[in-house]
Chain A
């Protein structure tokens, strides 16, 4: 998958990144719990470039390989009462985006000036 975070913070910004050919997309969730969840928190993904199909196909004409997968550019992020460490040390902490915790009360996600390229209905 593309870049993803799930850290304890009131705000996270992913910006000026380029994502190519991702299976799960990218995004970031944050952990906000207790009274802090009522004070507001923000997720921002700004000025990113996200590519689906590129010149490198999943099934080239020479049939040397063929691995077709569904591709996502963006996965919905969120604010949760639980989070994860910066560097997961156990496989049970994976995948990064999956959390066993309830959603927080507040939290906004505002994404500015992102560009998405070449996503077809079917993977090429």
Chain B
């Protein structure tokens, strides 16, 4: 599942700030060829807990608020989001950022469980953000041996305030066909995603089964028109 959990109208009675959550870091032992490869799988670093219309009574955290979010201590993401503050005892960050969400994407190619695309870096332009993603853990065993089957499915905690532009940098060749989904509580969140492909093949954005045509060609700039985030699926190809 995309790792986002929503809480509404939650009540905390005598719950200390240090006790409100503990977000487990990915175990270093996951970094082996049988499980996650060279670095631990990254799902625990990309969880998002959202709280709306929360009430606190009695002993409560100094940062208590009606609406807040809790994200993992992901050094490639959390410190680079305004309003997110580290809480060491929780191994987490507490945020007041309503444009947080989770970006899911996966390969739909035939080799989606055989070929590695990772690590993939999700970086927001204008920040030092660089969220390093791994694919799914290998859970298949053929007798004594691991199956070497890892689904190229990725979840990234995401900040989608208006005008956000993200670079998705694949260290393996990006899949030819990919599926994307952005979820969050805000209806106005979104972002432009940029992917540098190694080839110049024709590519299309398909939304709900229909191709979203690229922006009009601009004779002045000699390239397709700028993406202005006017609608979902707006896109262009920039040749290099």
The answer to the question of A104 belonging to the interface, with a C-beta cut-off of 8 Å to chain B, is yes
Q: Is the CB of A102 within 8 A of B151?
A: yes
- Interface flag for A34 (CB, 8 Å): no
Name the B residues within 8 Å of A82 (CB-CB).
139
A116 B13 Cβ-Cβ under 8 A: yes
Partner of B139, one of A100, A109, A119, A121: A100
Bound Cα distance from A102 to B1, whole angstroms: 9
Question: How many residues on chain B are close to A (CB under 8 Å)?
Answer: 36
| Most interface-central of B47, B104, B139, B181 (chain A CB within 10 A) | B139
A103: Cβ under 8 A from any B Cβ: yes
> A107, B14: Cβ atoms under 8 Å?
no
Q: Which residues of B contact A104 (CB under 8 A)?
A: 1
Asked whether A106 is an interface residue with its Cβ less than 8 Å from the other chain, the reply is yes
Interface residues of A in 88-124 (CB under 8 A from B): 100-121
B5-35 contact mask (Cβ, 8 Å, vs A): 1 or 0: 1111111111111111010000000000000
Asked if residues A76 and B47 are in contact (CB atoms below 8 Å), the reply is yes
Q: Looking at B5, B9, B47, B104, which has the most chain A CB atoms within 10 Å of its CB?
A: B5
Main secondary structure of the interface of A (DSSP, over half): loop
Is B79's beta carbon under 8 Å from chain A? no
Interface 1/0 per residue, B174-185 and A, CB below 8 Å: 000001010100
Contact of A115 among B13, B17, B47, B106 (CB under 8 A): B13
Query: Does B4 reach chain A (CB closer than 8 Å)?
Result: yes
Q: Which residues of A contact B17 (CB under 8 A)?
A: 121
Answer yes or no: B86 CB below 8 A from chain A CBs: no
Task: Determine the distance from Cα of A103 to Cα of B2 in the docked complex, in whole angstroms.
Answer: 8
Partner of B137 from the list A41, A72, A77, A102 (CB cut-off 8 Å) is A102
Set of chain B residues within 8 Å of A118, measured between Cβ atoms: 13-15
Q: In angstroms, how far is the closest chain B Cβ from the Cβ of A56?
A: 16
Q: Residue of B at shortest CB range from A109?
A: B5
Compute how far the CA of A79 lies from the CA of B47 in the bound complex, rounded to whole angstroms. 13
- Quick check: A119 and B43 within 8 Å, CB to CB? no
Chain A residues 74-91 with CB under 8 Å of chain B are: 76-80, 82
B140-190 CB contacts (< 8 Å) to partner A: 151, 153, 155, 179, 181, 183
30 example contacts (A-B, Cβ-Cβ < 8 A) are as follows: A76-B3, A76-B5, A78-B1, A78-B3, A80-B1, A100-B139, A103-B153, A105-B2, A105-B104, A105-B153, A106-B1, A106-B2, A106-B181, A108-B4, A109-B1, A111-B10, A113-B11, A114-B7, A114-B10, A115-B12, A116-B11, A116-B12, A116-B15, A117-B13, A118-B13, A119-B15, A120-B14, A120-B59, A121-B17, A121-B18
A residues at B contact (CB < 8 Å): 41, 52, 72, 76-80, 82, 100-121
Q: Which chain B residues have a beta carbon within 8 Å of chain A's beta carbons?
A: 1-20, 22, 43, 47, 59, 89, 104, 106, 136-137, 139, 151, 153, 155, 179, 181, 183
Closest 6 CB pairs of A and B: A107-B1, A79-B1, A121-B18, A119-B19, A102-B136, A115-B11
